[in-house]
């Protein structure tokens, strides 16, 4: 476990800092940039098609460095989650006991590797950040029919694979909000590093992508599917698509 963590952290640092190439001289338009607010969607190897959302506020420090604070909210899925379709056409995850959502406030730095021209081009930044993690284990609810083929007794309950044995009686999963009030909060930490490729003009709207690697750890296993192996250390590669404005 320790060697694994060391390897992951080393990869993050190499990816984030790399060999910093000198940035070109700062233009007059650059100097007027003080703050950037961006938001977007997150795609990661531990989530589905869209893993979550994020917000970030970036502040100018020097011609080659910025600082930022942000918030990311993503769902972490178990690798053995396989959707099953019920007779009603709805789907559920066999054996799933809890959702896991990670809320990640973070602070970090951006280092300019290649600076774009003031009016066009692509800017490449190396990014490194870290912060606490809130792991929300939210009970996974399903709709279960206790009646027979000719009678229905449908109840929305926290899925228990030992109790709800018959897949034929599972009509589908309920909304994630059903168990939100019963969430179990777990405190952890995360560190991430990557590269951003930014398009757009200074003092106007910007858009870009960020790719990187993240390590997140909790003090205990986050149980999503009780019958499967669950983790307390999560690693993922991610892709952020973002849009924002500068002033």
- The first and second tokens of residue 50, run together, are 């869209």
Query: How many domains in the chain?
Result: 1
**What would the mean pLDDT of 87-107 be, rounded to a whole number?**
94
Do the domain assignments include residue 32?
no
Show the tokens assigned to 41: 């969607």
Rounded to the nearest integer, the mean pLDDT of the chain is 85
Residue 191 lies in a domain: yes
3-state DSSP assignment of residue 9 = helix
Asked if residue 146 lies in contact with residue 155, where contact means CB atoms within 8 angstroms, the answer is yes
pLDDT above 90 coverage of the chain, percent = 65
End-to-end CA distance of the chain: 45
Half-sphere exposure of 211 (CA within 13 A, CB side): 2
Print the domain residue range for 102: 2-18+50-246
Is position 129 within any domain?
yes
Phi-psi domain of 89 (left: phi exceeds 0; alpha: psi -120 through 50; beta: other): left
12 falls within a domain: yes
Confidence of residue 202 (pLDDT cuts 50, 70, 90): low
Residue 41 domain flag? no
Half-sphere exposure of 246 (CA within 13 A, CB side): 20
Note the pTM of the prediction, 2 decimals.
0.82
158 or 203, higher pLDDT: 158
Task: Write down the pLDDT at residue 243.
Answer: 94
Contact indicator for 212, 26 with CB cutoff of 8 Å: no
Q: What are the tens digits of pLDDT across the range 17-73?
A: 443 334 444 444 444 568 889 999 999 999 878 899 999 999 989 889 999 999 999
- Asked if the model's pLDDT at residue 113 lies above 90, the reply is yes
- Average pLDDT rounded to a whole number, residues 113-117: 82
39 is a domain residue? no
**pLDDT band at 196; cut points 50, 70, 90:** very high
Least confident of 4-8, 17-21, 140-144, 150-154: 17-21
Residue 26 falls inside a structural domain: no
Beta bridge partners of 124: 114, 197
Give me the pLDDT at residue 206, please.
87
Strands 52-62, 65-75: pairing kind: antiparallel
Asked whether residue 209 is domain-assigned, the answer is: yes
Distance CA 211, CA 43 (A): 10
- Pairing relationship of beta strands 91-93 and 83-85 according to DSSP bridges: antiparallel
Task: Report pLDDT for 100.
Answer: 97
**DSSP at 167:** G
Q: 15 pLDDT band (50/70/90 cuts)? A: very low
Cα 168 from Cα 179, distance rounded (Å): 23
Conformational region of residue 232, where left means phi above 0, alpha means psi within -120 to 50, and beta covers everything else: alpha
Using CA atoms, how far residue 22 sits from 17, 65, 80, 105, in Å, is 13, 11, 45, 30
* pLDDT at site 32: 52
């Amino acid at each position: 476990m320790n060697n694994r963590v060391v390897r992951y952290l080393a990869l993050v640092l190499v990816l984030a800092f790399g060999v910093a190439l000198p940035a070109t001289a700062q233009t007059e338009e650059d100097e007027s940039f003080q703050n950037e607010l961006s938001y977007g969607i997150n795609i990661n190897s531990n989530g589905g098609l869209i893993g979550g959302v994020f917000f970030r506020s970036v502040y100018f420090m020097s011609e080659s460095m910025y600082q930022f604070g942000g918030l990311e909210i993503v769902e972490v899925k178990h690798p053995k989650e396989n959707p099953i379709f019920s007779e009603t056409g709805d789907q559920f995850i066999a054996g799933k006991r809890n959702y896991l959502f990670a809320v990640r406030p973070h602070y970090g730095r951006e280092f300019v590797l290649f600076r774009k021209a003031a009016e066009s081009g692509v800017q490449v930044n190396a990014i490194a950040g870290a912060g606490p993690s809130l792991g929300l284990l939210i009970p996974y609810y399903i709709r279960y029919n206790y009646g027979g083929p000719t009678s229905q007794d449908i109840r929305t309950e926290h899925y228990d694979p030992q109790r709800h044995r018959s897949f034929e009686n599972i009509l589908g999963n309920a909304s994630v909000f059903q168990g939100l009030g019963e969430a179990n909060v777990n405190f952890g930490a995360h560190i991430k590093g990557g590269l951003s490729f930014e398009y757009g003009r200074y003092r106007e709207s910007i858009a870009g992508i960020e790719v990187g690697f993240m390590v997140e750890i909790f003090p205990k296993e986050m149980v999503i599917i009780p019958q499967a192996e669950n983790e307390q250390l999560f690693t993922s590669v991610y892709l952020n698509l973002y849009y924002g404005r500068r002033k």
